[in-house]
Amino acid sequence: MQSASPPWNTTTKAIVAVSALALFCLLVWVFRGLLQQVVLAAILAYLLHPLITFIDRRTPVNRVTVVLAFYLALALIVVALFSMVGVTTFQQVLDLSRRLPDWFEEALDQLQVLREQLPESITVGGFAVPVASLLPQLPGWDQLFSQVFGLLQPILGRGGSLAASVVTGTVAVLGQIVLIFIISIYIAVDIPRIGSMIANIAHKPGFRRDAERLTSNVSQVWAAYMRGQALLAIIIFVMVSAVLGILGVDNALGLGLLSGAMEFLPVIGPLAGAGAAILVALFQSSPGFGLDPLQFALVVAVAMIVIQQIENTLLVPRIVGKALNLHPLLVMVSVVMGASLAGLLGAILAAPVVASIRILGEYAWHKMLDLPPFPDDEESQEKDMQRNDPSEEEPAPPLDGNVYPLSFQPVFKDYIWGGRNLETILGRELPPGTIAESWEIAAHANGQSKVATGPLQGSTLAEVQQQWGRHLLGSSVDSDTFPLLIKVLDSNSWLSVQVHPDDPYAMEHAGDLGKTELWIILHAEPDAEIIYGLKAGVNRERFARSAATGAIDSMLHRIPIRTGDAVYLPAGTVHALGPGAIIAEIQQNSDTTYRLYDWGRTEADGQSRPLHVRQALDVIDWRMVEPAVAAPPILAAPAGWVREALADLRAIGGPAAGNLYTDGDSETACPYFQVDRLTGQAGAVWQGSCDGSSFNIWGCISGSASLHCDGETFELREVSWLLLPAALGAYEVHAETQCVLLKII
């Protein structure tokens, strides 16, 4: 066995952190030429994420296939649209980019002429004020317009060169577009995992919740801004092109495209788009409606003002809302700064970047002053008050029939000890490869099961919880996440010898819950066995010496298992599942495991799986000495049913039983979940109710049953599960045949 890896000291950690930061900055600098393509790819993936997710939830294929199909369809649509109207539009943009500088210069000359034609004095309230005394106090109009044009010239120039390249089919530009598409595909596939990856950086539960909240707030800013601006750009493109086309302005499509693109530049962009339209009208060779150029320009100006008023009063509040929560002056300054630092891309991204910095800055400011980091989170404050005063908690009221029993599509895991028995023995449809675990009901960062039927089909359990809140979990469940995880395991070889921590240790060292679990043996070969606890006489010192050399087998307690056994494993129990077994596992919502021994196996890459001997020694419960599977306590039940309490210390026999509790002196029930095994005769009816205090989970181990509520029937077939929301109300479970069910609270 490998020895435990020693921890790094503070100096080593600091050196590695600084070196990693320096290497990251160096890589960004070296590959800065690709940064723009990566950012554009990320923006494209982010804009398309809601549509991809919508399709992914409603189709049986995996996300990778959905993304590839979506991007292929998008590429075909873009090519089709470009072949119809794209060339004309881009040619007009190219023409505008070439002519606008001359028009700006000519406009400056016209302003100078206008200035010279002003009267010598202006009469105000009976007093004659010389114009010459006023003009020196005003900013130079020519300088003002020159500065504005200086800001917009790089943007227009870049847009014009891009349009020219696309129109002429430049190989380099087409290559960049293909590269952006490829990078965007990879990002689109992994977007659902990015949020959890960021949150996983924070290990302590409190900081993890802060990270999740900050990620959510920043994501909302970018989602509202980018998707809102994209939708506004399309709408403004259509409106401006249509209005200017009706007025007879030259290059109406190009001006529409320019105005739409300028929507990504807050405050400045719409003004620039309107100014370009007015300039084109002012210098148009043949103004419409028999007007002179100045009158025609004024008509176009009024039309653009009306469009901007419609945008600001009707479209922006409904599409973008107050996503940025920034003062318009700060937005304008950030756009100018972004343009000066990073050109067009910097100007586009300046506003959401500043808004994100504001969110992070407010969080840091509140933390430094020891204030609540999210003072506007009334819901969190309400939950905190409820935790501090349990008497204030009330059952969740019904949701007027909106909640319903949920069944889920499982998440499959392909660990090296798995096989295909979930298919050959249980009749499951499996993806190719070795399948070790099926996460039946899961809301963990490492696996999210999706609703299989009903209005919420395709939603993850975490998303359902976010929508239903206490109506799903119940008022007595004090947790920000779904507290349980239901699995089915297929062991074709020994699992690692392992142990799970309790809540305090797991939260401090892994940022996760502890892991107490219960195994229900669904199938066992005649020689199937498990490692369950330690042999008599084993203590920490002796075990640590043996673990250092890998010679722990003689200290492990093995027992045979058979179909129907229930094995209760409190946190701290050394255990391993042997080959030839299929089990259902009810556990806390945790994926924290400390391996002691892994039978000398290697992964496909030839590397050994890591061991965690030091952590395991910290969390082993040395009282679990030679435990046995005892007959679980029998509880009262309606006619036709036999009810057994499985998650109970009284279901642990052998020497460990006397170590763990003394009858009458301590609580025997599992503090994390209650599992009743119900054996029902055909035709038996179980009447239950979800009264708002807690959700229920019903599982069918053998036979068949059905659940009835609100006039609807839900099947419970062999090895299937239903999650009943806390606000569901009354229900009945009918045993269609002789069956064995699990009721989990």
Please spell the DSSP secondary structure of 341-407, one letter per residue: HHHHHHHHHHHHHHHHHHHHHHHHHHHHTT--S-TT-HHHHHHHHHHH-GGG--PPPP-TT----B-
Backbone angles phi, psi at 277, to 5 degrees: -65, -40
Q: Quick check: 639 and 32 in contact, CB under 8 A?
A: no
Look at the block and give the residue holding tokens 């490492």. 446
- Note the pTM of the prediction, 2 decimals: 0.53
Backbone angles phi, psi at 725, to 5 degrees: -65, 155
Q: Quick check: 705 and 733 in contact, CB under 8 A?
A: yes
Q: Quick check: 743 and 637 in contact, CB under 8 A?
A: no
C-alpha 349/C-alpha 366 separation (Å) is 26
Model confidence pLDDT, tens digit, residues 582-613? 999 999 999 999 999 988 887 766 677 888 89
Q: Quick check: 240 and 273 in contact, CB under 8 A?
A: yes
C-alpha 693/C-alpha 462 separation (Å) is 19
Choose, from 227, 595, 643, 677, the residue flagged as catalytic: 595
Look at the block and give the residue holding tokens 């095994």. 677
Fold of domain 408-744:
Jelly Rolls (2.60.120)
Q: What is the pLDDT of residue 291?
A: 84
Q: Quick check: 162 and 95 in contact, CB under 8 A?
A: no
Model confidence pLDDT, tens digit, residues 459-517? 999 889 888 888 999 988 877 789 999 999 999 999 999 999 998 888 888 878 899 99
Q: What is the pLDDT of residue 395?
A: 46
Please spell the DSSP secondary structure of 441-504, one letter per residue: E-EETTEE-EE-SSTTTT-BHHHHHHHHTHHHH-TT---SS--EEEEEEEESSPPPEEE---HH
Q: Write out the two tokens for 734.
A: 């009918």
Domain ranges for the chain: 26-102+148-203, 209-323, 335-382, 408-744
Tell me how far the alpha carbon of residue 11 is from its chain's centroid.
35
Q: Which residues pair with 556 in a beta bridge?
A: 534
Q: Which helix (H) or strand (E) holds 69?
A: helix 63-81
- The angle subtended at Cα 276 by Cα 271 and Cα 280, nearest 5°, is 150
Active site residue 193: no
Burial 335-345 (b: 16+ CB within 10 A, else e): bbebbeebebb
| Alpha-helical runs (H) found in 262-313 | 268-282, 293-310
C-alpha 63/C-alpha 65 separation (Å) is 5
Q: What is the pLDDT of residue 208?
A: 62
Average confidence (pLDDT) per 10 residues, the chain, 745 residues: 64 86 85 78 81 72 81 81 58 60 59 59 62 49 48 48 47 70 84 63 61 76 79 88 88 81 78 82 79 85 88 77 72 78 76 86 83 61 43 43 88 91 89 92 91 90 88 86 94 94 86 91 94 92 84 91 93 94 95 89 75 91 91 91 89 78 62 93 94 94 94 92 94 95 94
Instruction: Give the neighbor-by-neighbor strand order of the sheet with 675-680.
Output: 634-635, 641-645, 675-680, 739-744, 696-702, 720-724
Q: Quick check: 38 and 28 in contact, CB under 8 A?
A: no
| Sign of the dihedral through C-alpha 334, 337, 340, 342 | negative
Q: Which helix (H) or strand (E) holds 329?
A: helix 328-368
| Alpha-helical runs (H) found in 169-267 | 171-200, 205-222, 228-247, 252-261
